[in-house]
A and B are shown apart, each in its own frame.
Chain A
Amino acid sequence: GDSVTQMEGPVTLSEEAFLTINCTYTATGYPSLFWYVQYPGEGLQLLLKATKADDKGSNKGFEATYRKETTSFHLEKGSVQVSDSAVYFCALSWNTGNQFYFGTGTSLTVIP
């Protein structure tokens, strides 16, 4: 069945460090791929998405490229800030209104 595997956490980085959180998926075909972020005490928010192969999603300095060859959608940011401290979830979905499959989440803490 469909599934998402993402990098184990927690991850601790110093401010301005480079961030990579790995995400790979298993699915038959080419689903849409997402990164969601959950800040402390808040609900999940969409961070970025890509709907087809080679698409790059970007938002707030974060980027992820849909790689069908490696079935991956790794999240990257060139320079993290303390305010980026949150839990990040990789997810896939097939079409409008359909259910989402989430990875286990990666907790990121950025220290000054």
Chain B
Amino acid sequence: SAVISQKPSRDICQRGTSLTIQCQVDSQVTMMFWYRQQPGQSLTLIATANQGSEATYESGFVIDKFPISRPNLTFSTLTVSNMSPEDSSIYLCSVDRQGRGEAFFGQGTRLTVV
């Protein structure tokens, strides 16, 4: 199975600040996905990140709020900008590492905004 390392695992941030979450995969992948899991809710896709192109954002998510970088085929970052308490969630990155249509997830970043 894939090894996906996500940092930080958790953080407590002040409102109005930004946090950058890193996702490192142990092999090259075409697409990386960023999800949000709000307390007690399911996963919602934020955006899909392809190397060498702009990320594709889902309805309700915008680049100014959630800028994404994808500098190579094994790494991506998601930034949560100008945070408010409503951004408190678990953020997860996901890949289909083995090309079998199976999503592998990082451990997630538990973000609390105070």
Contacts and interface: CB of A to CB of B under 8 A. Distances in A.
With most chain A CB atoms within 10 A of its CB, the pick from B33, B94, B99, B105 is: B105
Contact of B43 (A89, A96, A98): A89
B101 A97 contact: yes
A49 interface: yes
A91 B96 CA distance: 14
B73 to A, nearest CB: 13
Interface in A30-75: 32, 34, 36, 42-46, 49, 51
B41 A44 contact: no
A66 B1 CA distance: 24
A102 B31 contact: no
Contact of A46 (B30, B102, B107, B108): B102
Contacts, number: 55
A99 interface: yes
A18 B84 CA distance: 43
Contacts of B42: 89, 102-105
B41 A100 contact: no
Contacts of A46: 1, 102-104
Given A44-B92, A46-B102, A97-B30, 6 more contacts: A43-B92, A96-B101, A97-B29, A99-B33, A99-B45, A105-B41
Interface of A: 32, 34, 36, 42-46, 49, 51, 89, 91, 93, 95-100, 102-105
